[in-house]
Amino acid sequence: MKVAPLSAALGVEVTDVQLADLAGASLDALKRQVFENGVAVIRDQQLSPDQHIAFAKRWGGIDVNPFFPTNSGWPEIAEVRKAEEQKDNIGGGWHTDHSFDSVPAMGSILVARELPPSGGDTLFSSMGAAYDALSDGLKATLAGLSAVHTADHIYQPGGYYSHTDLADEMTGQELSTRAVHPVVIRHPVTGRKLLYVNGAFTTHFEGWTREESLPLLGYLYSVASREEFQCRIEWRPGSVAIWDNRATWHLAQNDYHGHRRVMHRITLTGDPLAA
């Protein structure tokens, strides 16, 4: 296994490894790379859907997102698609997946299936670096705060994703998603303190109004999205990305209009978050 950094803040590129066969100490080594660096892109893979699922099960449990269309015959795999005629994409704003769940997903294993001729890169940002950049006074304030997360405005009929490939999945769904998490969490493996809010799903601080919350949330988002805290994954055929949802944000760039993009995603079960 060869490892090279993607940026100074986070991310590694891994080569000379085959995920279809990875297990035991080699799998533990890859997990450590993801936990310590936030995201890993593994090149030159030829994972079938069955191998994708088998590898995810060796990693841990699988969460099935009820809002995404599944790959026919493999319900564990969500298809993240954008058709040629669509303008809006899925994941086009900074976020971390499933923060609206009481036990958010650990992360995801994303396999490139159909790529546009260019564009469609995925950006990641380090929530450890974002927390470290805050003043001691703000860290002390955030230590006593929790925040409310929901996805109702995203997935409900007429919501943000109503013009994407998820529109059919959203029809007629009655949503009530809500979770409360500490604003600062500690990574369960590395122990690093992490900022845990995001613009897609965090609505307000618990006990505060939304109006009171927005100025501070906006400042936190501006810090968390600083370019020096980011890395970029340029997708190529055979690329697989694995990321830690607790330690990163991600954003799928929407710069390939007129072309189709299909990714297969398996979401990995997480652990309760601790302040």
Rounded CA separation 244/223 (Å): 19
- Pair of tokens at residue 30: 């890859």
Distance CA 116, CA 255 (A): 10
Asked if 236 is an active-site residue, the reply is: no
Cα 218 from Cα 220, distance rounded (Å): 5
Q: How many degrees, rounded to 5, is the angle at CA 21 between CA 17 and CA 22?
A: 65
Q: From the candidates 192, 250, 261, 264, give the one annotated as an active-site residue.
A: 250
Q: What share of the chain is helix, strand, coil (3-state, %, to 5)?
A: 25, 30, 45
Asked about 264 being catalytic, the answer comes back as no
**What φ, ψ does residue 57 adopt, rounded to 5°?**
-70, -35
Assess whether 101 carries a catalytic annotation. Answer: no
Is 163 labeled as catalytic in the residue annotation? no
Helix (H) or strand (E) holding 168: helix 167-170
| Cβ 61 vs Cβ 76: under 8 Å | no
Catalytic residue among 63, 97, 165, 244: 97
Counting every residue, how long is the chain?
275
Q: Which among 52, 95, 192, 246 is annotated as catalytic? A: 95
Q: Catalytic amino acids?
A: 95, 97, 250, 265
